[in-house]
Amino acid sequence: MISLAVGRVSCAVGGIDGFLVMTNLEEMSNASSDTGYNRIPPNYSDRLSRSRREISFRSDIDIETEMTISFLDACKGGKKNIEVNKKEFCTVCTGSGKNFDVCPDCKGTGIEKTVRKGIFGKENIPCQKCGGSRKIAVSSCPRCKGSGSTEALCTVELNIPAGIDDGQTLVVRGQGNVNVANRSYGDLRVLIKVTEHPVFRRNEYDIHVDVPVSEEQCRKGGQIKVPCIHGDIIMSLPENTKYKTVFRLKGKGIMKLNQTEQGDEFVRIVAADSAKFNEK
């Protein structure tokens, strides 16, 4: 399993506060190459031996939602909050679905009688009616109507990993709906949508940008300002540079998921009045 980020969650009902592990569903699922997201680092290939059944969507307890982030947020990563309506254990009955009252037989002691055991010993016999629990179910829980769960609005803080791409999914383990029967939780799956940027274009982990330059500057060369995702830099332009010439800025692209390596930025020189020039 590919671990991408860690986050925290706070819930409006139930007081849940725990750590979340996020994974990339598209990569885990070994998505087809035409999606553009089947880019699993080789050193993680041994972690993908789990069956598809383990990561399949469970409609009864898993939650699917979407989050739209900016182009630069996808490149750099960062923290984002998302609100999710989910089922939590009922705060009144704690998931039992029942309304309890004091056992009328033992009067809440849980003991039916005490008998002597040996010369000095004593033994408490549990109440037969409540089984020693001191309480008995008298009706369904008035809050959850016997289901054991209620709706709650939760705020989940996600750590968006640098390099995430449009259409990829963060799987937050244990933050789906509660499964009352086995006292467990499903997963929260957040589909990431990335908005376009007016200047930068993305190809895998590389950035492409057009830089408008005058004819005179191309002829004489010199220093030009180049936009990068982490801030503008100054690049030396050689003399007699022709339009459509592409320069490669190594390591100025996007951080690769689960790696310390970055992609590159490719700078294309275009005419000063053709800032939106695109080579066909």
Answer whether residue 279 is part of any domain.
Answer: no
Q: What is the rounded CA–CA span in Å between residue 178 and residue 269?
A: 55
- Distance separating alpha carbons of residues 270 and 210, to the nearest angstrom: 6
Q: Has this prediction a pTM greater than 0.75? A: no
Same domain, 7 and 129: no
Cα 221 to Cα 19, 209, 265: the distances in Å are: 53, 19, 20
Instruction: Give the separation between CA 158 and CA 68, rounded to whole angstroms.
Output: 13
In a domain, 105, yes or no: yes
Of 94, 87, 95, 97, nearest to 11 by C-alpha is: 87
The domain of 113 spans 98-140
How many domains does the chain divide into?
Answer: 3
The length of the chain is 280
Flag whether 277 is in a domain. Answer: no
Per-residue pLDDT 10s for the chain (280 aa) are 333 433 445 554 333 333 233 434 333 333 333 333 233 333 333 333 333 334 566 778 899 999 999 999 999 999 999 999 999 999 888 888 888 888 888 888 887 776 667 666 778 888 887 888 888 888 889 889 989 999 989 998 898 999 999 999 998 888 899 999 888 899 999 999 999 999 999 999 999 999 999 999 999 999 999 999 999 999 999 999 999 999 999 999 999 988 889 999 999 999 987 544 444 3
Q: Is residue 238 part of a domain?
A: yes
Tally Cβ neighbours within 10 Å of residue 20: 21
Q: Are residues 37 and 30 in contact, defined by beta-carbon separation less than 8 angstroms?
A: no
